[in-house]
Amino acid sequence: MSIIKPFRALRPTPDKASRVASPPYDVLSSEEARAMAQGNPDSFLHVSKPEIDLDPDVDLYSDQVYAKGAENLARLHKDGVLFREERPCLYVYQQTMRIRDRDHVQVGVVAGASVAEYQSGLIKKHELTRADKEKDRTRHLDTLNVNSGPVFLTYKASDRIDALVDGVRAGKPVYDLVADDGIRHVVWVVDGVAAIAALTGEFAKLPNMYVADGHHRSAAASAVHDLRKAKNPHHTGEEGYNHFLAVIFPHDQMHIMDYNRVVKDLKGQSQGSFLNAVREKFEAEKTESPRPGRATEFGMFLGGQWYRLRARPGSYDGQDPVRSLDVSILQENLLAPLLGIGDPRRDKRIDFVGGIRGTAELERRVNGGWAVAFALHATSMDQLMAIADAGQIMPPKSTWFEPKLRSGLLVRPLD
Tell me: the pLDDT tens digits for 120-137? 999 999 888 878 889 999
Predicted pLDDT at 336: 97
What type of residue sits at position 391?
G
Residuewise pLDDT in 10s, the chain (415 residues): 899 999 999 999 999 999 999 999 988 899 999 999 999 999 999 999 999 999 999 999 999 999 999 999 999 999 999 999 999 999 999 999 988 788 999 999 999 999 999 999 999 998 888 788 899 999 999 999 999 999 999 999 999 999 999 999 999 999 999 999 899 999 999 999 999 999 999 999 999 999 998 999 999 999 999 999 999 999 999 999 999 999 999 999 998 889 999 999 999 999 999 999 999 999 999 999 999 999 999 999 999 999 999 999 999 999 899 999 999 999 999 999 999 999 888 899 999 998 888 899 999 999 999 999 999 999 999 999 999 999 998 887 888 888 999 999 999 999 8
Q: Which of 170, 164, 161, 163 is nearest to 188 (CA)?
A: 170
CB 21 within 8 A of CB 409: yes
- H helices present in 101-158, as ranges: 115-120, 131-144
CA gap 166, 91 in Å, rounded = 12
CA 42 vs. chain centroid, Å, equals 23
CB 154 within 8 A of CB 381: yes
Helix (H, G, I), strand (E, B) or coil at 337: helix
Direct distance between the N- and C-terminal alpha carbons of the chain, in angstroms, rounded to an integer: 25
In the chain, what are the domain boundaries?
4-256+402-413, 259-377
Q: Is the link from the previous residue into 403 a cis peptide, with omega within 30 of 0?
A: yes
CA gap 291, 300 in Å, rounded = 9
Instruction: Provide the angle, in degrees to the nearest 10, between the axes of the packed helices 159-169 and 193-204.
Output: 160
User: Between 3.30.1460, 3.40.50, 3.40.600, 3.30.1760, what CATH number should domain 259-377 receive?
Assistant: 3.30.1760
Predicted pLDDT at 90: 98
- Predicted TM-score (pTM) of the model is 0.89
Q: Does residue 303 come out as left (phi exceeding 0), alpha (psi in the -120 to 50 range) or beta?
A: left
Q: Which of 409, 407, 411, 307 is nearest to 33 (CA)?
A: 407
